[in-house]
Amino acid sequence: MRANVNARLTLLDHLPKASVGAEIGVHKGDFSHYILGVVRPRQLLLVDPWKHFETEEYSKTWYGDLGPDGQKIMDQRHDAVAARFAKPIAGGVVKIVRMLSADAAETIDDDSLDFVYIDGDHSYEGVSADLAKFHPKVKRGGFLGLDDYSLGNWWADGIVRAAHEFLARHATVVTLCLDNQILIRKL
């Protein structure tokens, strides 16, 4: 017998309830919705620049190659996320941080987050930078999750290579590795 498992939702089951976390790369907020429903965080930072990138490197991403109205489309996505989460924003549970993740990390205190879920720039450089910048923000015993932990697609080996290099340099434990999700606990 074979059971279908949603790896992203399974990852959420491992995160502490009523915690403080950040999602890097929000897009339209679909996974944010699940984080709020499953984890029920005290606070969730939604970090995304909602910026159109016109370079060839990002042409196959959700935020590249959108044509001449690219930034207008990204602004509409941001506005839709703000409207979608208006109630939790008003209640202080959700905070939208519209900036590049590296810049956003500079605004967050060290050891203040229980988890960070990284699903932003999938390039090797982007994932390496997110791991380096957000690792100090996560409390000891907290979690760093990565989406699309796999080979292929436009990012080639970028996510896997960045994750393996990070694991080799930091005191961590892989708590979950399922399908294309990996969850790392900071020691």
Q: What is the pLDDT of residues 38-72, one digit of tens each?
A: 999 999 999 999 987 665 665 455 555 666 677 89
Q: Is residue 147 part of a domain?
A: yes
Q: Is residue 117 part of a domain?
A: yes
Q: Is residue 145 part of a domain?
A: yes
Residue 17, domain CATH: 3.40.50.150
Per the structure, the complete domain to which residue 114 belongs is given by: 7-186
- The confidence score (pLDDT) of residue 92 equals 98
Structure pTM? 0.92
Q: Is residue 1 part of a domain?
A: no
> Which of the residue ranges 16-20, 70-74, 151-155 has the most confident prediction, judged by mean pLDDT?
16-20
Into how many domains does the chain fold?
A: 1
The set of long-range contacts for 35-43, using a CB threshold of 8 Å and a minimum separation of 24, is 35/117, 36/85, 36/88, 36/93, 36/94, 38/9, 38/12, 38/13, 39/12, 39/15, 39/115, 41/93, 41/114, 42/18, 42/93, 43/92, 43/93, 43/94, 43/95
